[in-house]
A and B are shown apart, each in its own frame.
Chain A
Amino acid sequence: MKIVIVGAGEVGYHVARRLAMENKDVVVVDKDPAALRRVSDTLDVQVVQGQGGSPVVLEEAGIREAEILLAVTDSDEVNLVACLVTDMLAPNTRKLVRIRNGDFDACHPLLRENAPHIESVINPEIEAARTIERLIRVPGAVETGELVGGLVQFVGLRLDAGSPMDGVMLPDLPRHLGGARTLVAAVLRDEKLIIPTGADCLQSGDLIYLVSEKNRLLDVLSAFGKIRKPARRILIVGGGRLGLRLAASLEKQQYQVKIVERRAQRCRELAGLLDKTVILHGDGSDQSLLIEENIRGMDGVVTLTGDEQTNILVSLLARKMGVDMAITRLTRFSYFPLMPTIGIHQIVSPRLSAIDSILQHIRRGKVLATLSIQGDQAEVLEAVALPTSDIVGKPLRNLAFPKGALVISIIRGSEIIIPSGDSVIAPDDRVVIFAKRKTVPKVEKALTVKLEYF
């Protein structure tokens, strides 16, 4: 499978990295030789230097044999032109494009049906804003994801010392939960991701990933000692595109929102675009401003400036001033593992969201959604169990399923099954699978129709 990626930025680089690790043929196009050098020095992919929208460059990158074009440069315009050119040169190539400008939101279906025939428009900010909203809604969650249209919730939470679940053996878990059905998919302990077995017990300090039905989630969380009054007052630091999108959505849901923005001009724009939100002109890292605006009274602080150092700093400041929830936007993935050490647990990354959406489209089989866990240590995949697939019709315990992967829920019609070893996947069920990075290709293979190989 050949994939041409236009744009060697953070998203392009990381998608290329994952795909190259899965032995796919990747060609990366960028106009900046320095960005390309980073790619060619560390990844086993081909690089082509040039403008991503140029027919000559795309031709050189082998767009005609490519199965997928991925346009993820910083410029929406270049991305669109790349798609348009691809549509002319290679009409059969599937096109995925990142467009960040919110003005295009309404046009996504049009772009699919008309000229560039874009299979999917990826707007990482939409996804990131949704993630933040979920983090605000779900108390105590460090990571959240929705699968099967929101029916199944995937939540990462940290087990504090003194939690009722500290030291509980996994087989005893259902008893402690009092009927609420859940399944612990993975545990992150000392920066190592483990898929627990019946012999493992939970320890304080663990980051626990679990799945639950949507309407039982709050019960599960309270059983884990995560009880909190619903958040109402939210302070957003940084009024960029994502900040605006989030504020607009939150103010509609009766949250009290304040935005701190450094640029006076942008403040005026925000004031024009938002109705109930309070817009403050000032520097988010200015402690006196935060105190003046009663940061202690906030239920949550969301730091979304373009500068990640500022975001980290402001979140730390907020935590220190007693705010429970500090959601931090990070771009550089290499920072992710450091964050828990300094006390920042809730991280959003539009880029990671973009990578998730992109991978979902590239994965074979009928994969409907993917979530990245801990940067890229693991993935949660939602897929349709094809009638001919290897996983159908046998009890789970008899499946030759790759080690390091786990079926964490089965959805049949509107029924949600949290599986045990005896559960059987029926054709056309939706399954949610948790898989460590290295096993993803194997899982993908297990999900694919067998006939493809003949």
Chain B
Amino acid sequence: MNWRIIGQVVGILMVATGLSMLFPLAWSHWYEDGGEKAFLLSMAFCCLGGGVLYGMLRGPMGEGLSQKDGMSIVAAGWVAVSFCGSLPFFFSGFVPGFTDAFFESVSGFTTTGASILEDIEALPQGLLFWRSQIQWIGGMGIILFSIAILPFLGVGGMQLYKAEVPSPVPDKLKPRIQETARILWKVYLLFSLMMFVLLLCGGMDVFDSLCHTFTTMPTGGFSTKNLSIAHYESLYIESVIMFFMVLAGINFALHFRLLRGDGLCFWRDGECRFFLLALGGLVLFVSLGLWGRVYETLGESLRYGSFQVISIVTTTGFATADYTFWTPAAQLVIFFGMFTGACAGSTSGGIKLIRFMVCARYCHKELFSLVHPRGVREVKLGGRVVPEGVIHGILGFMALYLGIFALGALVLTTLGSDVVTAVTATASALGNVGPGFGAVGPAENYAGISVSGKWVLAWLMLLGRLEIYTLIIFLLPEFWRQ
């Protein structure tokens, strides 16, 4: 393994994280909220640590990267950046201990949106901004961001890209990885800008608009308010956020095509079409179920039903209502939504719809071959045959995902959580959603989870964000054998 290059890249990522604290520092300074010290201290730590790491390992980069190096860089990079991100929380003193700070930081970078903070509004503005900013950076991917701006990563960029964005059907928009990364970030930036302006028009102040944009586009879910989006009681703001949550749940490659003038690409893409149809169906199902039982009018049912369903399915985790008081069927839809996620290539978490589609078609193929033992049938997606190897990869991924979910829930109950809390917190962390049920419902927070439980959940979030394989191969003895 190429330790030198891994260390170098991790060092650079740490310095970059440190430098990115300039933005919250500026807010802290502007609002005079007393948070400057925490940021200055954290910046010093990150830049010094990263700089020393980089300086020690400086030297020739060597020829390209192996797949193993790529995965190591991505995994180590995410852990290191999460660590750096936790420092401002830790130094500020608003967070009880390092475990909580790390949990909050991981939850931010992985765009989960689960918080250990009981009173969010008590935080200094700078820290609130930092919470939102790390979600925005984590959403499109810290590595993808590095590829876009650091030319020297071009050589091994593909390995890194595959390790951070392990889509089953990789979509390279441009021949060169750096160009692809830049396009994705540009689309991301453009949408963020649009949303920011739209929120401003709805009467939100600049700070809140920016923070909520930063947590909606990556389907993160941190809010600056204790009541999340419910705080604003504005149908307009809810609609804007819903609209952008849906957009963020769609493959960014499609957005690029849309911006290039291909108006029908959402409909022509099988996964996106399925996502939009399924989302519509679920919203109707949940809202009709709520009508008359939880909410009096159909309008109210639709308003709260649609927001919660979209928020969970896109793995954002904003709340306008507490779904733990909803009907059992609606609750179960929300719970299942934590697993599905939205489209591959989007900023959402979860298993991703494309894997379910391939899985369903594979099952259909198996059943077909029972009826026609000599029949020949291929699993197709968008008119193309899905190679056998990809199908196996997808089935393996789903099995691994469910296995880790089961194990995680078991561990959490062992550590003292009740069944509902443990099961839903695990699903929520693994899917990068945020809220769960029981003690971690949308109106609650993760402060009550035990210290070891928080560590377990933090790792689950990282596992979910990097789509399992990139992190889990480190447990394989074969990985370490030379």
Query: A interface vs B, CB < 8 Å?
Result: 2, 20, 23, 25-27, 33, 40-47
Contacts and interface: CB of A to CB of B under 8 A. Distances in A.
B155 interface: yes
A47 B174 CA distance: 10
A33 B387 CA distance: 9
A41 B64 CA distance: 11
Contacts of A44: 154-155, 157-158, 175-177
Interface string B147-162: 0000000110110000
Given A23-B176, A41-B67, A46-B174, 10 more contacts: A25-B176, A25-B179, A26-B175, A40-B170, A44-B157, A44-B177, A45-B175, A45-B176, A46-B175, A47-B172
Contacts of A41: 67, 158
B154 A23 contact: yes
A27 B64 contact: no
30 contacts: A2-B175, A20-B176, A23-B154, A23-B176, A25-B174, A25-B175, A25-B176, A25-B179, A26-B175, A27-B175, A33-B387, A40-B158, A40-B170, A41-B67, A41-B158, A42-B64, A43-B158, A44-B154, A44-B155, A44-B157, A44-B158, A44-B175, A44-B176, A44-B177, A45-B175, A45-B176, A46-B172, A46-B174, A46-B175, A47-B172
Interface of B: 64, 67, 154-155, 157-158, 170, 172, 174-177, 179, 387
Contacts of B158: 40-41, 43-44
A367 B38 CA distance: 59
A260 to B, nearest CB: 40
Contacts of A46: 172, 174-175
Contacts of A42: 64
A182 B158 CA distance: 45
Contacts of B175: 2, 25-27, 44-46
A334 B67 CA distance: 20
Contacts of B155: 44
Nearest to A28: B175
Contacts of B387: 33
A25 B157 CA distance: 14
Nearest to B158: A44
Contacts of A43: 158
B122 to A, nearest CB: 48
Contacts of A27: 175
Contacts of A26: 175
Contacts of A20: 176
Q: 8 nearest interchain CB pairs?
A: A25-B175, A46-B175, A46-B172, A44-B177, A26-B175, A27-B175, A44-B158, A45-B175
Contacts of B176: 20, 23, 25, 44-45
Contacts of B64: 42
A33 B176 CA distance: 20
B170 to A, nearest CB: 8
A2 B179 CA distance: 13
From A2, A23, A41, A44, residue with most partner B Cβ within 10 Å: A44
Nearest to B389: A33
B74 to A, nearest CB: 16
B386 to A, nearest CB: 11
Nearest to B159: A41
Nearest to A26: B175
User: Which secondary structure dominates where chain A touches chain B?
Assistant: mixed
Contacts of A23: 154, 176
A26 B174 CA distance: 9
A13 to B, nearest CB: 14
A40 B157 CA distance: 11
B86 to A, nearest CB: 34
A169 to B, nearest CB: 30
A417 B457 CA distance: 73
A378 B235 CA distance: 66
Nearest to B154: A44
Contacts of B67: 41
A45 B154 CA distance: 11
B69 to A, nearest CB: 13
Nearest to A47: B172
Contacts of B174: 25, 46
Nearest to B173: A46
Contacts of B177: 44
Contacts of B154: 23, 44
Contacts of A33: 387
Contacts of B172: 46-47
From B67, B154, B175, B176, residue with most partner A Cβ within 10 Å: B175
Contacts of A45: 175-176
Nearest to A50: B384
A42 B155 CA distance: 9
A330 to B, nearest CB: 21
A26 B179 CA distance: 12
Contacts of A40: 158, 170
A169 B172 CA distance: 53
A40 B161 CA distance: 12
Contacts of A2: 175
A23 B176 CA distance: 8
Nearest to A16: B175
Contacts of B170: 40
A27 B175 CA distance: 6
A25 B175 CA distance: 5
A67 to B, nearest CB: 12
Nearest to A48: B172
Nearest to B387: A33
A240 B158 CA distance: 40
A26 to B, nearest CB: 5
Nearest to B172: A46
A44 B157 CA distance: 7
A3 to B, nearest CB: 9
Nearest to A27: B175
Nearest to B170: A40
A170 B226 CA distance: 79
A37 to B, nearest CB: 9
A197 to B, nearest CB: 22
B318 to A, nearest CB: 37
B48 to A, nearest CB: 33
A26 B158 CA distance: 14
A207 to B, nearest CB: 22
Nearest to A25: B175
Contacts of A25: 174-176, 179
A23 B154 CA distance: 9
A47 B67 CA distance: 18
A46 B176 CA distance: 7
A149 B378 CA distance: 56
A336 to B, nearest CB: 16
A47 B177 CA distance: 12
From A2, A23, A42, residue with most partner B Cβ within 10 Å: A42
A43 B155 CA distance: 8
A139 B67 CA distance: 46
A248 to B, nearest CB: 42
Nearest to B157: A44
A379 B158 CA distance: 27
A49 B170 CA distance: 13
A53 to B, nearest CB: 19
A66 to B, nearest CB: 10
